[in-house]
Amino acid sequence: MTNPAARRAFTVVELIAVMAILLVGLALVIPALSAARMNANRSQCASNLRQIGMALHLYANENNGFFPPTTHTTGSRRVEQSWVYGIADYLDDIDKIRVCPADPPARQQQILSRHATSYALNELVFDDENYNQVYRISRPSQTLLAAILSENRTPSPTWDHMHCGEWTSWQKMLNDAQADRHMVGAPAQAAAQRIRGSANYLFADGHVENIPAAEMKRRLDSGINPAEVPVSP
């Protein structure tokens, strides 16, 4: 005859074993789900930037080759609203495309309510008369047009551009661009120097490139400003 106390002990052991299996399963599933979510957000962000790139060129085709001005543009072309509204007619859904899906939810709401955008333009192109027309860019596949705005910048119409001429160090770039926007898990900023993730970048030929933060830091550390407009020799 089975001892009731032994039966209860066996049941407890079984329960502990089942719970251990479930915990192991969760430990495997949660990172996989996080990675899948990150990949989906990264892909949607890249799609946003590709549509923005196409819209920028459509705008230029109808404006004597000029790209739209930013709120940093001086002179007669200066505007008071974010550049993204200048290309609204060429976008299917401006409120979807102007927001990076990987931005934190609260930041996304700020961007929407404040008529801002997650994507900031390279002032070295858009606010420089030497390069603010399509035909003036001699190496479009290597010319950076836009990146994801840094969380160091509060969303607003006036933060629609990056001060790329000041990118003389990794930290100065991080003040403008969220170079680790796409990552799995929470950022360990102090320990990892913000080099764990990656970000999407739009170039003048319309292609979007996902570049690891570590690679962007390497370029800055070697004295290369990735936002400088390259010129043909």
96-111 tens-digit pLDDT: 999 999 999 999 999 9
**Lowest-confidence pick of 89-93, 173-177, 190-194, 198-202:** 190-194
Side chain identity at residue 108, one-letter code: Q
Residue 193: pLDDT band by 50, 70, 90 thresholds? confident
Mean pLDDT over 5-32 rounds to 60
112 falls within a domain? yes
- From CA 97, how far away is CA 107, in angstroms rounded? 15
pLDDT per position as a tens digit, 67-121: 999 887 656 666 678 999 999 999 999 999 999 999 999 999 999 999 999 999 9
> What DSSP state is assigned to residue 168?
S
Tokens standing for residue 167: 């990118």
Tokens standing for residue 7: 């039966």
Global pTM reads 0.83
60 falls within a domain? yes
Any alpha helices (H) in 75-122, and if so which ranges? 94-97, 105-113
Residue 191: pLDDT band by 50, 70, 90 thresholds? very low
124 falls within a domain? yes
201 contact partners, CB below 8 Å, separation of at least 6: 49, 144, 146, 147, 208, 209, 210, 211
Domains held by the chain: number: 1
Model confidence at 154: pLDDT above 70: yes
229 falls within a domain? no
Look up the domain containing 90 and give its range: 4-221
232 falls within a domain? no
